[in-house]
Amino acid sequence: MDALKEEWPLGGVGRARWEKAAAAVLRRSRRMTDDQDPAEVADLLSTRTLEGVRVPALGTAADLPVPPVRVLPPVRVDGWDIRIPVTDPDRARAERSVLTNLERGGSSLWVTVGPGGTDPRDLAGLLAGVFLDFAPVVLQAPAGLTTQTARAFLDVLDERELIPAAGSNLGADPIGHLARGWIPEAEVAPQIAEIAGLARHPGLRAFVVDTTVLHNAGSGQVQELAYSLAAGVTYLRLLTASGVPVQRAVRLIEFRYAATDDQFLTIASLRAARRLWNRVTALSGVPTADRTQLQHAVTSWAMTTRYDPFVNMLRTTVAAFAAGTGGADAVTVLPYDTAIGVSDDMANRVARNTSSLLISESHVAKVADPAGGSYAVEELTDSLARAAWAEFQLIESEGGILASLAGGGLAGRVAATAAARTAAISHRRMALTGVSEFPLAGEVLLTRPPLPAGTGGPFAPHRYAETFEGLRDIPAAAPVFLAPIGSAAAHTARATFAANLLAAGGIEVVRPQVPAGADELVAAFRKAGTTVAAVVGTDADYAEHAPELITALRAAGATWILLAGKPRGALADLVDDHVVVGADAITFLTTTRAHLTGTV
């Protein structure tokens, strides 16, 4: 047993015996051939992110190239900061929401100013009932309003003779504005110097490195981490060039990251971000005590859906758990109706209470870096950090983040990642519950006051579900007739697969309620009011019964016949289209809808 413990510190059967047993299972499921080495099991069971980073199926000490480097987050005595987003453009409604959220669990405010938020002139009224020396306020304003918003906030502080709560931030992000195409590169440095000069109160920060500009455009974790490093380094360079000591410069910057429902990637990303920033600040000569990265994690807007929006509660719960476990200092849970418009009181309450439950009932914040020491998480953290450092060096070789944004280098790589994700969603390798998988047929959408649409440019924001949602927004003109062959036990699996897929594309399904033969199916087809039929059953039943049924359906007026499964032999010439697991669902659905409307 001592030898086994040396081979695999967790003890037990030992890695070699585990690989042999796992290989036997994979061979039975035909995922592994007899001549493959059992040592390949770990790679076969591991997955890779869209950017090629390996997500290990099993972590061991031997898999770590070096002893893990852990950069712990600051101690959180009362859990993380529950940061409330304030985006309602209605002044009275926004003021009520601010007080309600702070009185019932929120601990700080993230105030959007300008279109889709509060008018700078209304900032004093919005914050009138807020104890600004107790509750931090983080501002977010578009280009053209950044300085005005910062001055309006400072005027409120001066009028009330207050020192802002630690963690308050003027929220300037000129590099993010450049990425969005809002300002030219020439305005970045002057704005940085101007905003830095306004942050005169002790503990008041001035800048946010907001990686959600990339995330909402479809980037991957590596690109977001590298962007945060490149932007952070540029802020340090420009601040010190304007006369700000580096020790003070690092205290002016906060980092905002998206937290997704991929919990291990989110945990590892936040851990990697602290490690990377620690490295940058160490190389910049920053004292150890000031190398801490202040992290604000916000649950991903891109992962939210308009259809079956209540599933968003599950997504954001997982994301908030991952953000807290990953060590974020502040966490914003976006309400479940965020993708629809201005959130109502119920949605805000659920979002606020998600963090409260995780902190007070699940005790997620009681342990510093609870994922630390998990070999799989440590390996993933290390892999992300190394890949992000390589991407950061690539950005630097392009002349830094400003030059990379101007030249389109980073935008091109983000676009490639976004395209890979779109393909994975279209082929349903990446599931969107309630949208691409298990859609609720006949769903009535929630209605909310609208928010301004996102802007265009190289990092135009989009949600992952938009293509499927676009199909469902305009239901198909006619249904598809589902023609089952064989017993219910035999055809149910493929019938369910086909019905769910069609529903995901806004296509209703008509199916017989009782087992029926060919004559009964043809009669039912004639009553269905459609020209498209989908044959579902087993391969064996297809070979015996499908040719006759398809011929009869053609004679009854079917102009487009689908098959659930891969047609074999002569059947391939009898059907017009087929669908299998992993097929391009969007192309299949779009083609089917065209035949339903007769526009082909």
Whose structure tokens read 């704005």? 191
Q: Which of 452, 403, 475, 461 is nearest to 217 (CA)?
A: 461
Q: Is residue 497 part of a domain?
A: yes
173 with 287, same domain?
yes
Q: pTM, whole model, 2 decimals?
A: 0.93
* Share in percent of the chain as helix, strand, coil (round to 5): 50, 10, 40
> In the chain, pLDDT over 70 holds for what percent of residues?
96
Q: Which of 134, 249, 129, 267 is nearest to 199 (CA)?
A: 249
Q: Is residue 572 part of a domain?
A: yes
Residue 40 structural domain = 2-45
Distance of alpha carbon 296 from alpha carbon 259, whole angstroms: 10
Region 249-271: what's the mean pLDDT? 97
114 with 14, same domain?
no
Region 173-183: what's the mean pLDDT? 95
CATH code (residue 569): 3.40.50.280
Q: Is residue 70 part of a domain?
A: no
Q: At what angle do helices 91-103 and 345-360 cross, to 10 degrees?
A: 20
Whose structure tokens read 């994979």? 26
Region 368-396: what's the mean pLDDT? 94
User: With 0-12 CB in 10 A as exposed, 13-18 as middle and 19+ as buried, what is 261?
Assistant: buried
Q: Is residue 441 part of a domain?
A: no
Q: Is residue 66 part of a domain?
A: no
CATH code (residue 277): 3.20.20.240
> 471-475, 514-518, 571-575 — which is least confidently predicted?
514-518
Region 535-549: what's the mean pLDDT? 94
Domain end call among 393, 409, 425? 393
- The rounded mean pLDDT for the chain is 93
Domain end call among 344, 362, 393? 393
Q: What is the pLDDT of residue 13?
A: 60
Taking only the tens place, the pLDDT of each residue in 432-461 is: 999 999 999 888 899 998 887 777 778 999
202 with 349, same domain?
yes
Domain end call among 368, 393, 418? 393
Q: Is residue 273 part of a domain?
A: yes
137 with 284, same domain?
yes
372 with 516, same domain?
no
Q: What is the pLDDT of residue 77?
A: 75
- CA 190, 192, 193, 197 torsion-angle sign: positive
Q: At what angle do helices 488-504 and 585-597 cross, to 10 degrees?
A: 90
Q: What is the pLDDT of residue 515?
A: 59
Q: Is residue 51 part of a domain?
A: no
228 with 281, same domain?
yes
The total number of structural domains that make up the chain: 3
Taking only the tens place, the pLDDT of each residue in 299-338 is: 999 999 999 999 999 999 999 999 999 999 999 999 999 9
Taking only the tens place, the pLDDT of each residue in 192-205 is: 999 999 999 999 99
Region 489-510: what's the mean pLDDT? 95
333 with 206, same domain?
yes
Whose structure tokens read 């659930």? 564
Q: Is residue 180 part of a domain?
A: yes
94 close to 130: Cβ distance less than 8 angstroms: no
Q: What is the pLDDT of residue 70?
A: 82
359 with 500, same domain?
no
221 with 362, same domain?
yes
User: With 0-12 CB in 10 A as exposed, 13-18 as middle and 19+ as buried, what is 339?
Assistant: buried
Q: End-to-end distance of the chain based on CA atoms, in angstroms? A: 69
Region 390-414: what's the mean pLDDT? 97
280 close to 389: Cβ distance less than 8 angstroms: no
Region 62-74: what's the mean pLDDT? 77
